[in-house]
Amino acid sequence: MLAVNPDTAMHRIVIVPNRSLSVTGWWLFYASIVAATLTPGIWLTLNGFWPVLAYAILEMLLLGLCLYLCWRQGRYGEVITVSSSQVLVDKGNGHHMEHREFSRYWAQLVAHEPCARLHPRRLYIRSHGEECEVGRCLTGAERATLEQRLAQLIGPLGKTGFN
Amino acid sequence: MYNTADAHHPEHPSGIWRWITTTNHKDIGTLYLCFSLLMFFVGGAFAMLIRAELFKPGMQLMDPLFFNEMATLHGLVMIFGAIMPAFVGLANWMIPMMVGAPDMALPRMNNWSFWILPFAFILLLSTLFMPGGAPAGGWTMYAPLMLQTGTAFPFTIFAIHLMGISSVMGAINIIATILNLRAPGMTLMKMPLFVWCWLITAYLLIAVMPVLAGAVTMELMDKYFGTSFFNAAGGGDPLLFQHVFWFFGHPEVYIMVLPAFGIISEIIPTFSRKPLFGYTSMVYAVASIAFLSFIVWAHHMFTVGMPLSADLFFMFTTMLIAVPTGVKVFNWVATMWRGALSFETPMLFAIAFVFLFTIGGFSGVMLALVPADWQYHDTYFVVAHFHYVLVTGSAFAIMGAVYYWLPKWTGHMYNETLAKWHFWLSVISVNVLYFPMHFLGLAGMNRRLPDYPVQFTDLNQIVSVGGFVFGVSQLLFVACIILCVRGGKKAEAKVWEGALGLEWTLPSPPPYHSFTEPPAANLIWAHPYQND
């Protein structure tokens, strides 16, 4: 999803993926399923059937890992800041952030065509031999909107907001 | 919206490699469905052998051990190989399309969860050729009977573990997809009933699979590692295996039925041209059934000598299940009431489901009564009951679902005449097959025996004839599917006039990645599931 800062002095585009599961929802769901699985596991262990608890713990760890990976995917975000002289790209999932700086004048917006018909175009900001993908978590239509917006903002042909 | 299509499938391989390496939800759904159809025929062949042996009293075709092997493998193959994978296949195909997601949340795990299954069943079926034969202790694998199995024992246990791992991975994937990848605007109470039923089923699967894994591991340890979990001589208790097994086993029954409820809740509104009556009550009914399924397990064990208080507790909780189930049945009937009904094959299967599943439900209420269960226990009455639930319930729902969504999957309409032949032959023969079993059971014929007193001959012959006709009529099902895949009248995006839901906004057949852009929010908000 795209959010554009209306402040005209500096353009900021915030890109985050759709997350249909909130953090509270995540905890509620995980806590309820852990309770539903471990309660019989503990009860059976108290009656001498400890292998059930071992499998239950293993399974909860796997479920937790899978849900965490999905949640971490959902924490991914990109912030593209276009000032009068620079294009700054910050992206990552909070722990591992990547920061790239490009000269606004020399920066180019490049769209790589997909290798297969069903796959999406990918957008890159490129300058002086370096390039950085943007809008990775967007859908085709959203990426097209981003492409249009960035084409207006960066490079020698960037024509919005600055003199 | 994060696009899973973006992160995977850098190429789209063709040929056999496509099917081995695929991470696409539609490909994996197709694999699951084909596998389950194959297993349906393998399990069906075992059932034919059983019915051939029971055609006449006395021993005709096989020795009693082989008969028990057939009964055991028939149960295991039909439950873990036919019914469950068919529902997972339908979930794979439909859930991403129904929630507006491009694919499943964990596509690589999806591939593993399918490809474990063929190996599990090769392992299980290979036991037929091992010294001592295949497992013959019944699908419930009761100790100490199961511990008498020969070389096949550890292979069977390993196969069960593999099936469990596959089920758990499939369930985790379904949960992650439904919770994380719903399109913007699709709140939980706007989800189609099929998705809701699967979310609750996946929850059940995750909760009970460790219990099965633990139970069979303890049997393995008793046999090979000198433990005495179920060995009375070493201080264990064989009866406790039944408690542990049925703590898994009864929710397992609902795992095989809840997705069927979801399917029927999709089909009936479509062919009634009305929104589902009582959407919210349907969701709460499914959740209630799932909860109750955890506290009814000992109704399978009324005759083992539990205290009266335990008998009463499990009798009452079991009878309570009739309440939410009744809510569902009445809601389906109310949906049809004054609707503009049409009777295409999916609707015929759905109506047959409602009627015949209710028969299975009623015999379930009879079995829930402790004093009556003392007469019915381990007789053909029980066999009739659970086959009405699982064949005319789950299997009919799966067949209805295949006819309902086949035009969407293939882009072609199926042959309606052939499909109706399939339906009528199935519905008549299945009643010839299972209804007389009630009378056999009431008259005292025990289940799991290869021979019987001569007075049961007539009814057994009728049952066997019904079984053979039902088995052969399933070839029409295969013919319908093959003909539809190969060609036929072009199907539109919205195949059925009264169809509701996001999946019908995609072309038929849908693109390789379902929604590479989120569906328009107004499509979801206008979704008429909540009109009650």
pLDDT digits (tens, 9 = 90+) for B345-361: 999 999 999 999 999 99
Domain A2-17+77-153 = CATH 2.30.29: yes
Residue B254 is a catalytic residue: yes
Q: Is the pLDDT of residue B405 over 60?
A: yes
Per-residue pLDDT, averaged over A140-159, amounts to 74
The whole-number pLDDT of residue B43 equals 96
For residue A80 the two structure tokens come to 């593209």
Please give the residue that has the higher pLDDT: either B519 or B209. B209
| Residue B428, CA distances (Å) to B10, B257, B402, B418, B435 in order | 49, 22, 20, 16, 10
Per-residue pLDDT, averaged over B158-174, amounts to 94
Please give the residue that has the higher pLDDT: either A152 or B513. A152
Partners of residue A25 in chain B, C-beta under 8 Å: 179
The whole-number pLDDT of residue A97 equals 81
Report the gap between the CA of B43 and the closest CA in chain A (Å). 29
Tell me: the pLDDT tens digits for B269-308? 999 999 999 999 999 999 999 999 999 999 999 999 999 9
Q: Is the pLDDT of residue B525 over 50?
A: no
The CB density around residue A145, as the number of other CB atoms within 10 Å, is 14
CB A33 within 8 A of CB A63: yes
* Percent of chain B with pLDDT strictly greater than 70: 94
Instruction: Mark yes or no for CB contact A37/B181 under 8 Å.
Output: no
The whole-number pLDDT of residue A119 equals 64
**With bands split at pLDDT 50, 70 and 90, how would you rate the model's confidence at A4?**
low
Instruction: Mark yes or no for CB contact A140/B184 under 8 Å.
Output: no
Per-residue pLDDT, averaged over B71-79, amounts to 96
**Whether the complex's predicted ipTM surpasses the cut of 0.90:** no
Give me the residues of B, 105-124, that contact A with CB < 8 A: 105-106, 109
Q: Is the pLDDT of residue B532 over 50?
A: no
Phi first, then psi, for residue B379 (nearest 5°) are -110, 180
**With bands split at pLDDT 50, 70 and 90, how would you rate the model's confidence at B18?**
confident
Report the gap between the CA of B157 and the closest CA in chain A (Å). 14
The whole-number pLDDT of residue B6 equals 44
Partners of residue B294 in chain A, C-beta under 8 Å: 36, 40
Average pLDDT across chain B, whole number: 91
Among residues B22, B23, B72, B167, the one annotated as catalytic is B167
CA atoms within 13 A of residue B154's CA, in its CB half-sphere? 6
For residue B397 the two structure tokens come to 């729902």
Residue B167 is a catalytic residue: yes
CA torsion, ordered B281, B286, B287, B289, to nearest 10 deg: 120
Please give the residue that has the higher pLDDT: either A75 or B448. B448
To test the contact with chain B by mutation, choose from A16, A43, A49, A68 the residue with the greatest count of B C-beta atoms within 10 A, namely A49
In chain B the domains, ranked by start, together with CATH numbers, are 4-530 (1.20.210.10)
Tell me: the pLDDT tens digits for B127-151? 999 998 999 999 999 988 999 888 9
- Rg from Cα positions in chain B: 23
B448 sits in the region (left: phi over 0; alpha: psi -120 to 50; else beta) called: left
| Residue B90, CA distances (Å) to A127, B8, B300, B478 in order | 48, 22, 30, 17
For residue B175 the two structure tokens come to 């949960």
Average pLDDT across chain A, whole number: 80
Residue B504 is a catalytic residue: no
